[in-house]
Structure 1
Amino acid sequence: MISTVTLNPSIDYLIEVDQFKVGAVNRTAQEKMFPGGKGINVSIVLKNLGVDNKALGFVAGFTGHEIDRLVEEHGVKSDFIELEEGLSRINVKLKSDEETEINGNGPAILDSHLKALYSQIDTLQSGDILVLAGSIPSTVPSDIYKRIMADFKERDIHVVVDATKDLLMNVLECGPFLIKPNHHELGELFGVTITTQDEVVEYAKKLQEKGARNVLVSMAGDGAVLVSETGEVLKHTGLKGEVKNSVGAGDSMVAGFIAGYIQHGSYEEAFKMGIATGSASAFSYNLATKEEVEALLKCL
């Protein structure tokens, strides 16, 4: 079983306005609503690729009910913990001459809620995959991902972490199966600017020295790099296409990698699947579909 954890999911409300004017009444040209959160994106793309999984996390209020409904509308099984107070956040993404985002804070998560999540995760069996993805709300411990992973040291659970800064660095000693920073985030971890694939390899290996097993680094239009636990260094300069929406492309790469690894047991095939899936989402206004991914795989 694959489970994803999104600690602070959202409703992403995408609005397009022609020539937005501050202080005036503006009419929308187009509106869309999506369930938001990196773990949820991974779940949806996995399901699109035919891989069953379960979405975990916290929801609250009427917005939480809508997140749950939207996730299940995509065919993803969910087992969100419903909080007694507060509202799941709404993130507003305004597209006009410039792009503007307004992100909500989300509800307070108490120790009792975290214990309920730990109980869910504790049911994972040997060989299962757990995806910990995205930023965390201010009401949970800053090392929450590390705390979750601490119980897995003696269990054969493949943990995938897609996070940034200390949230990522804290988990390395627990030996995550896969981490996926982009090249900007990788540079931030070491206080450097990374522009080439050779530099990505250099610093990805430093993360392996700290405990990561496999390091997958996305580089937007410049491709991706995988440094695997078997010593393989795989590089790709990226697929060519019109980028329509970069939101969710990194999450889609994670989902594609997992799907490819499950299907083939090969890091090379997982890497290809990750590239194709991330690109398929970037080249579409929605998250990647199986048909889009299969079409791009023929280009690799």
Structure 2
Amino acid sequence: MIFLAKIARIARQYDAKLIVDTSGEALKNAVEEGVYLLKPNQAELSKLSGIEVKDKETVEEAARKIVEKGKCETVVVSLGAQGAYVARRGYSEHIEAPNVEKRSTVGAGDSMVAGMVYAAERGFDMRQIVRMGIACGSAATMNPGPELFRKADVDRLYAELLKKMN
């Protein structure tokens, strides 16, 4: 058994909320064990669901397929400059990324996951969790190279995303 699948099994036994952002066999095996939140990109979502993801409709179809299998409570698909799509039972939404001047995408995905973990730990609801992730990922793109986000940028972008929330 792959290491991440073992972690997923242990997390499930302890009712811990495991957030997974990986690819390949590790991704497949972790999902088979069951995870709280999965953050694939479009290519990873295609491989995992067996659906060719090419537009918003197929992103939704593929994400819902994974959630409906019952192995993942929430799927958050990172869509780069187009934001993210979130799916869970009874709720799905495409959230546009804020318009920012991009200098580098290095670390944007990891920053997105970090923002979601931060928000989840603080008890935010899923709509806020995903928006915090998008704010952190977007803020990371505003800086050169491997420099990650600045808190002031995240705070501003998160506030903008909350204003647009339905």
By the TM > 0.5 criterion, same fold? yes
Can you list the C-alpha shifts for 1:59-112, whole angstroms capped at 9, x where unaligned? xxxxxxxxxxxxxxxxxxxxxxxxxxxxxxxxxxxxxxxxxxxxxxxxxxxxxx
The equivalent of 2:75 in structure 1 is: 215
Q: Decide which of 87, 91, 97 is 1:227's aligned counterpart.
A: 87
Q: Deviations over 1:91-144 (max 9, x none)?
A: xxxxxxxxxxxxxxxxxxxxxxxxxxxxxxxxxxxxxxxxxxxxxxxxxx6x22
CA distance in 1, matches of 2:149, 2:88: 25
| Contact preservation (8 Å) 1:228, 1:267 | no
Q: Which residue of 2 aligns with 1:240?
A: 99
Alpha-carbon distance in structure 2 between the residues aligned to 1:191 and 1:204: 11
**Letter aligned with residue 108 of structure 2:** A
Report SS of the residue matched to 1:171. helix
In the alignment, which of 25, 42, 61 is matched to residue 183 of structure 1?
42
Structure 2 length-normalised TM: 0.86
Q: Is the 8 A contact 1:183 1:218 kept in 2?
A: yes
Q: Which residue of 2 aligns with 1:279?
A: 138
Aligned residues of 1:162 and 1:168 also touching (Cα < 8 A) = yes
Tell me by how many angstroms 1:265 deviates.
Answer: 3.0
> 2:154 aligned with 1:293, yes or no?
yes
More helix by share: 2
Letter in 2 for 1:144: F
Q: Which residue of 1 aligns with 2:31?
A: 172
The one-letter amino acid paired with 2:119 is G
The separation in 1 between residues aligned to 2:12 and 2:47, in whole angstroms, is 27
Q: Over aligned residue pairs, what C-alpha RMSD do you find?
A: 1.7
Which residues of structure 1 form unaligned runs of 5+? Answer: 1-140
In the alignment, residue 102 of structure 2 is paired with which amino acid?
V
* Separation in 2, partners of 1:225, 1:192: 16
How many residues matched? 158
Question: Do residues 249 (structure 1) and 114 (structure 2) align?
Answer: no
Q: TM-score, normalised by structure 1?
A: 0.49
Which has more radius of gyration? 1
Distance (whole Å) between structure 1 residues aligned to residue 8 and residue 22 of structure 2: 14
How far has the Cα of 1:210 moved from its partner? 5.0
Using the alignment, how far apart are the partners of 1:205 and 1:216 within structure 2?
11
CA distance in 2, matches of 1:165, 1:150: 18
Any conservation in 2 of the 1:173–1:210 contact (CA below 8 Å)?
A: no
Secondary structure, in 3 states, of the residue corresponding to 1:158? coil
Tell me whether 218-227 or 258-267 shows the greater mean CA deviation.
258-267
Between the aligned partners of 1:203 and 1:290, the Cα distance in structure 2 is: 33
